[in-house]
Amino acid sequence: MNSVISVVTDHATILLAGVAIIEGVLAAWLIRRIDDMRMRLRRARDAADQAARAAALAAPGGIDPEIVIQLLRSGQTVTLDVVHDLMEQRELAEAAEDTGEA
- Per-residue pLDDT of 53-86, as tens digits, reads 787 777 666 777 788 888 888 888 778 788 888 8
The pLDDT of residue 60: 66
| Residue 52 or residue 93, greater confidence | 93
Where helices occur in 1-102 by DSSP H, the ranges are: 2-10, 12-58, 65-74, 80-101
- Other residues' Cβ atoms within 10 Å of the Cβ of residue 71: 17
Per-residue confidence at 102, pLDDT binned at 50, 70, 90?
low
pTM higher than 0.75, yes or no? no
Pair 77, 54: CB distance under 8 Å: no
List the domain range (segments joined by +) for residue 79: 2-101
* Total number of domains in the chain: 1
